[in-house]
Amino acid sequence: MSLWQLWLIIGFVVLILDVFAVTMFLVNVALALFLTSIVAYFGGNIYIQLIVLTVFSTLFLLFLRPLLIKKLKSGSMTGVDSKYYGQTAKVIQKTTNLDGRIAVYGEEWRAHSINDQIFEAGETVKIVGQTNMIMMVDKL
């Protein structure tokens, strides 16, 4: 096994560990390991490889990790959130903070109101969030 292959394997192992750790720390090290693998593939000696690993791990931790964390905490929505957030829905079953049903886009969803509001069937509400598969609704 070549040294570049070893760096690559270690990089994938570290990347998998980061998926379970969910810290966005090890992903930076994994990226540095991938770069080190490229340097090794093109014939860089072990000292250059270790320098690349150290320098890029540090740079990624200092500059890339904060950007990734900021992106994750920015509240960018995907999936269910982005499609339904801010949309109006029709209440089809009395909706409280504990139970209810709404219809949006011709689909029926479980719903809970926020701020202990009560919405009767037939009212129009605004979707303000989603928890698991339950839409959170508020008055228009």
- Host H or E run for residue 119: none
How confident is the model at residue 72, as a pLDDT? 67
User: Of how many residues is the chain composed?
Assistant: 140
Comparing CA positions, the residue from 76, 61, 63 lying closest to residue 14 is: 61
Tokens of 58: 């540090």
DSSP string, 87-113: -EEEEEE-B-SS--EEEETTEEEEEEE
pLDDT for residue 10 is more than 80: yes
Per-residue pLDDT of 17-41, as tens digits, reads: 988 876 778 999 999 999 999 999 9
Tell which residue, 113, 87, 85, has the closest CA to residue 99: 113
Residue 93: what pLDDT?
Answer: 95
The pLDDT, as a whole number, for residue 81 is: 56
* pLDDT on residue 119: 95
26 in helix, strand or coil?
helix
Overall pTM > 0.85: no
Look at residue 6 in the predicted model and tell me its pLDDT: 96
Domains (range + CATH), the chain: 3-73 (no CATH), 80-139 (2.40.50.140)
pLDDT band at 131, cuts 50/70/90?
confident
If one compares 74 and 133, the residue with the highest pLDDT of the two is: 133
CA of 77: how far to CAs of 80, 85, 98, 127, in Å? 8, 9, 24, 14
Per residue in 60-80, pLDDT (tens digit) is 999 988 887 777 665 555 555
Of 75, 72, 63, 84, nearest to 134 (Cα)?
A: 84
- Quick one: pLDDT at residue 74? 57
Q: What does the pLDDT look like over 87-121, one tens digit per residue?
A: 999 999 999 999 999 999 989 999 999 988 999 99
